[in-house]
Amino acid sequence: MRTVEIAVENKSTKIRRVLFIILVCCVIMGIVDAVIRPGYAIKSIIKIFLFLGCPLIYSGYDKEIYLKQLFSIHKNSLIKPLLLGVGVFLVILAAYFFLKNILDFSKITSSLESNVGVSKDNFVSVSLYISFINSMLEEFFFRGFAFLSLKRYTSRFFSYSISSIAFALYHVSMMIGWFSIATLLLIIIGLIVGGIIFNFLNERNKNIYSSWMVHMFANFAINTVGFILFGLI
């Protein structure tokens, strides 16, 4: 009986530790995005340390957090995510062209320039980083660490919820001033739903490549909108 109690206590401790890391990393990154607002290169370095470094450091302490398996590739499992990614790309572009005369997107470029340091001059390099590296960082942290690792210790519903909500709320800090409150709430709901879909893809394939592919294509579409707004295409 005592052994069972110790096991439950250890499990609860590990859940609290993982949740603490998720919370601290998201809060710090949110403060960096919304308050400190350093140059994009500095912000990227901080994000790499928080979203990649912190989980790796903790996995060295907790051997049950085995992150290497998140990068195992199953070729047959990439076809559906690829098709889904292309579909997401087309849907996002179609939504932009449908809504551009309804919603005001003019604040986005000015906010990017003043708050993030992203301008017409560096948007190409930034868009490449966002599409390939930033998307992988977020998938590793939110889907790999915050979902698949947390799922080892807690319920499926809880791990789905924490990962998806953390993913959505994290993005709020970088979108402050871009949209009205109502539009921002819709975006948050969309991000939560997107996080749930990403979790489902990774849960089936037990790696982060499936969600990364869809996330990457979503970023392709968002960056295409950015090119349009900056007048680059």
Task: Tell me the per-residue pLDDT of 115-164, one tens digit each, with 9 for 90 and over.
Answer: 667 778 788 888 899 889 999 999 999 998 999 888 888 889 999 999 99
Confidence of residue 70 (pLDDT cuts 50, 70, 90): confident
* pLDDT mean over 210-230: 89
How far apart (Å, rounded) are the C-alpha atoms in residues 117 and 123? 10
Strand, helix or coil at 174? helix
* pLDDT mean over 70-98: 84
User: Residue 61 to residues 19, 26, 46, 52, 184: CA-CA distances in angstroms?
Assistant: 15, 21, 22, 15, 38
Q: Give the domain extent around 203.
A: 2-229
- Selected residue with higher pLDDT from 88 and 204: 88
Provide the domain count of the chain: 1
pLDDT for res 72:
73
Task: Tell me the per-residue pLDDT of 154-204, one tens digit each, with 9 for 90 and over.
Answer: 889 999 999 999 999 888 777 766 667 777 888 889 889 989 989 998 888
* pLDDT mean over 204-232: 87
Strand, helix or coil at 78? coil
pLDDT for res 140:
93
Point out the least confidently predicted range of 2-11, 99-108, 163-172, 221-230.
2-11
Strand locations in the chain (E): none
pLDDT at 9 over 60: no
Confidence of residue 6 (pLDDT cuts 50, 70, 90): very low
pLDDT for res 115:
62
Q: Smallest Cα–Cα separation from 195: which of 223, 181, 176, 214? A: 214
pLDDT for res 108:
72
pLDDT for res 174:
73
Angle subtended at Cα 213 by Cα 174 and Cα 25, rounded to the nearest 5 degrees: 35
pTM of the model as a whole: 0.84
Task: Tell me the per-residue pLDDT of 46-65, one tens digit each, with 9 for 90 and over.
Answer: 999 999 999 999 988 887 77
Q: Chain-wide mean pLDDT for the chain?
A: 84
Residue in the structure block whose two tokens are 């996080």: 195
pLDDT at 3 over 90: no
